[in-house]
Structure 1
């Protein structure tokens, strides 16, 4: 009857993990302060990039902007070389500080550093205060709840396998044991399915008010990579909302995503 103890552990793990996820989901569903920005035209490109893709999207937008102004060279291998070391805004100055004394850095390192960048933190705080972005604690709590439910699902499967392996007595039906373990497994799998079904369609970084502004900006720039060129004035706005999929140049996409191949991307004009 050791399998009964394993079943109790499985139920405990399922209930704790699902309870944690539901608590986090409830916190995320609480009404945000009234948004102080009502039109997508009032968003800056950096703000739109944060709402759509978080700090790394902001870093990608800044690097692309500097590349288009011929102040930065981007290589297909994923390395960036500074041509003009003077930043035009606090974000550029923060990101340029990541580059080494030779003015070179992997693009991945710059994107990672953006998460702890003071300028990005201040940008996020403004969006939180405006009711357009999901607070970091709320988003982190929800993600941790999802990981806990996934871990509980794995634990239940492991305990079920061990229990079935231990069932050897003539009075114990393996099918009955499997059915008992199917109940907590059904609970965790259902929670994961519901969380996936109810996930925000555009970005986990934006509140419902921020989502509406992103949708408005996306409709205002309906270009596709096939329609737009590198000199398209709406390219930066499209990248802010859609990410690297809006970049028409495959080499430039490779450079901004981490790097493949050789050579330097053609300078923006």
Structure 2
């Protein structure tokens, strides 16, 4: 009986580790194709011009949810939306000035009020956001969605396999008659556990280029934007968390940089 549990543990470990490695290889090739360059080559010839728009900066920094926060705060600062500290958005002026704003108003709905998490979720599937993402992918700045989902799914399967191994060892111990299972038998389960945990640690350390929103070229553009934001900030240099409360700071670093406590509480209370 214990041999069946051991085979199950090894099968789960090997299958999950192979899938992670394969997903990383596929993602690496996809990223190089997205940037328009072969591996170890120079920059893409059709890269987007220097300088990112506010929406592009937000998407590359934190994806559709960061973009949603930026457009909501932008409209709130212009008194066209009201963001309550309880995490609800209320429409004041139902006229959007660009496709993303119109998508945000559509996400809020005809009743003119919606919780911010629901707005974020709806904006993630909006055509305007998909169009912006596609432009960034074609420019080689954003990672294709298949890259992010493929590696993320493989890492989750690896994490599940790391849990299956000790469960199989426990089942072996409890199901076997007294005295049949000794320490040597249980030690055999340590090998697939070490394999899965070691691969998981490496994957968590190395998977960021494949699970982030920006490619290497996109990260370089974001560093330029961060440098420009720091140059525009008066006073001595500070950490990103102390950046000015402008929309660029929000796009780059998230709601923590907002100095307006009402806006910060509205975004944080809604799960930002």
Q: Please give the TM-score of this superposition, normalised by the length of structure 1.
A: 0.87
Q: Which runs of 5+ in 1 are unaligned?
A: 230-234, 261-269
1:132 matched to which residue of 2?
Answer: 141
Counterpart of 2:95 in structure 1 is: 86
In structure 2, the residue matched to 1:267 is none
Cα distance change on mapping 1:8 and 1:203 into 2, 3 Å: closer
Change (3 A) 1:92 1:29: same
Residue 37 to residue 50, structure 1, CA distance change in 2 (3 Å)? same
Cα distance change on mapping 1:221 and 1:70 into 2, 3 Å: same
Larger displacement relative to structure 2 (203-212 or 105-114): 203-212
Distance (Å, rounded) in 2 between the aligned partners of 1:10 and 1:118: 44
Give SS of 2:191's match: helix
Residue pairs, 1:189-208, within 5 angstroms = 189-200=197-208, 204-208=212-216
Q: Aligned pair 1:254/2:265, yes or no?
A: yes
Please list every run of 5 or more consecutive structure 2 residues that lacks an aligned counterpart in the other structure: 37-43, 234-239
Q: Give the C-alpha shift of residue 259 in structure 1.
A: 4.4
Of 190, 213, 227, the match for 1:219:
227
Aligned match of 1:228? 244
What corresponds to 1:25 in structure 2?
A: 24
Rounded Cα–Cα distance in structure 1 between residues aligned with 2:226 and 2:81: 27
Structure 2 counterpart SS, 1:97: helix
Which of 124, 129, 136 lines up with 1:120 in the alignment? 129
Q: Which residue, out of 129, 134, 144, partners 2:153?
A: 144
Aligned to 2:169: 160
Quote how far apart the aligned CAs of 1:227 are.
6.0
User: How much does 1:225 deviate?
Assistant: 5.6
Distance verdict in 2 for CA 1:205–1:149, change over 3 Å: same
Across the aligned residues of Structure 1 and Structure 2, the Cα RMSD in angstroms comes to: 2.1
Match of 1:265 in 2: none
Larger RCO, structures 1/2 (Cα 8 Å, 6+ apart): 1
TM-fit CA distance, 1:165? 2.0
Contact 2:140 2:217 in 1 (8 A): yes
Q: Identify the residue that residue 68 of structure 1 maps to in structure 2.
A: 77
| TM-score for both structures, normalised by structure 2 | 0.86
Map Cα deviations across residues 222-241 of structure 1 (whole Å, 9 max, x no partner).
36565635xxxxx1111111
Distance apart, 1:28 and its partner CA: 1.9
- Structure-1 separation of matches of 2:159 and 2:211: 21
Shift of 1:251: 2.5
1:51 match:
60
